[in-house]
Structure 1
Amino acid sequence: MLFCPQCSNLLLIENEGGQTFFCQTCPYMYNIHSRHTTRKLLQRKEVDDVLGGAAAWENVDSTEVTCPKCEHERAYFMQIQIRSADEPMSIFYKCCNENCQHQWREG
């Protein structure tokens, strides 16, 4: 994207009679003499665990519930109020199987 140096609006491309950048609001025009490309690679942000990461699961209890991924019989759980106070709490589970560690929620 290029912007007009006079009024700072986005320049558009006109294909008739050779390629030209032009401004819709002022008479500025710029003839394109060669191919104009630029590329910028963006850095991805690290995703934070909404539940607090591994530290949030350190002192939680486990219960008998079947993991939907590996069908292990036990999972850690914690209850968190994520909606308004008149809604029930959501239960988050994490599989006790060290090879699975699948997380899911109920409610």
Structure 2
Amino acid sequence: MEFCPTCGTLLQYEMPYMGRPSRFYCPTCPYVCYIENKVKIKRKQRLVRKEIEPVISPDDMKNAPTAEVSCPRCSHDKAAYTEFQTRSADEPATIFYMCLNDRCRHRWRED
């Protein structure tokens, strides 16, 4: 949506006609803005993916309490866990688990 810079009215679109390019025009004042057919790209910029920081670092899980929960990846029966309130206060907390098997170290959560 484009608005008229002089009176603020919503501009209307007019198709090209008899060699005249397409344009936006104001129905209440004489403002006209011609539309160019070619779009010029001035520069290209590569997007850089930001590094994602983990919610819970491995250091946090070293001193965490343990529970007898089966790991979904390796079926080990012990996991360290931490609990965070990630949603509103009237909803249950989210529990983050980390498998205590040295080969697995799988992380999962339970909402």
TM-score norm. by structure 2 comes to 0.57
Match of 1:70, SS state, is coil
CA distance in 2, matches of 1:69, 1:40: 40
Distance in 2, Cα, partners of 1:96 & 1:31: 60
Q: Are the structure 2 counterparts of residues 37 and 61 from structure 1 closer, same or farther at C-alpha, using a change threshold of 3 Å? A: same
Runs of 5+ unmatched residues, structure 2: 1-20, 25-32
Shift in Å, 1:31: 7.0
Aligned residues: 82
1:50 maps to which of 23, 39, 55: 55
**Any runs of at least 4 consecutive aligned residues in structure 1 with deviations exceeding 6 A, and if so which?**
none
Cα distance in 2 between the residues matched to 1:66 and 1:56: 20
Q: What TM-score, normalized to structure 1?
A: 0.59
The Cα RMSD (Å) is 2.8
C-alpha distance 31-102 of structure 1, shift in aligned 2 (>3 A): closer
Of residues 59, 67, 79 in structure 1, which corresponds to 2:63?
Answer: 59
Greater Rg, structure 1 or structure 2?
Answer: 2
Match for 1:44: what amino acid? R
Q: Which of 80, 84, 107 is equivalent to 1:80?
A: 84
Change over 3 Å in CA distance of 1:24–1:95 after alignment to 2:
farther
Q: Distance in 2 between matches of 1:43 and 1:30?
A: 31
Structure 1 residue runs of 5 or longer lacking an equivalent are 1-21
Choose from 70, 88, 97 the match for 1:93.
97
Identity of paired residues, percent? Answer: 38
C-alpha offsets along residues 41-86 of structure 1, whole Å, 9 cap, x if unaligned? 22210001123x2232131011111100111111111111112222
